[in-house]
Amino acid sequence: MRCATLIFAILCASVALGSDRLWKNAKVIKISSESGTGWAAPRGTWNIRGQVTKTYYWIETDDTVYVLGPSVTKEWLKVTLHSTTKIVIDGGNAHILDDEGKDKKMPIAEKVARTKPEDRK
């Protein structure tokens, strides 16, 4: 009984710690898509064909621009170009709030450090 209680306490603590994210203000500065490889699948006597489209999202914070993606699912990230959002970096992934306020997890494809205006001279 004590072992089960201890496991339950550890699981509850890990969930509580995971929800304490430090969200950063961010802006969606670019959304791009590229056509990938084609696919085909047999369906009875027919062959169904399609093409994979990869979508990338450029998210700008005060110090870094993150390129998120590729998103290859039918349910893309629902964000508005040039709008503000919130982001949290979690290792090689980012959590971003979409236009509906839902937390979406996406892989980070690239990070670009932003230079300060005084450094650009």
Per DSSP, what are the bridge partners of residue 68?
Answer: 57, 108
Does the pLDDT at position 27 exceed 70?
A: yes
**Residue 103, domain member (yes or no):** yes
The one-letter code for the residue type at 60 is: E
Does the pLDDT at position 89 exceed 90?
A: yes
Q: For the chain, what is the mean pLDDT?
A: 82
End-to-end CA distance of the chain: 67
Per the structure, the complete domain to which residue 47 belongs is given by: 22-116
Sign of the torsion formed by the C-alpha atoms of 39, 43, 48 and 50:
negative
**Residue 1, domain member (yes or no):** no
pLDDT given at position 81 = 96
pLDDT given at position 110 = 96
Closest CA to 74 of 51, 92, 57: 51
Does the pLDDT at position 79 exceed 50?
A: yes
Count structural domains, the chain.
1
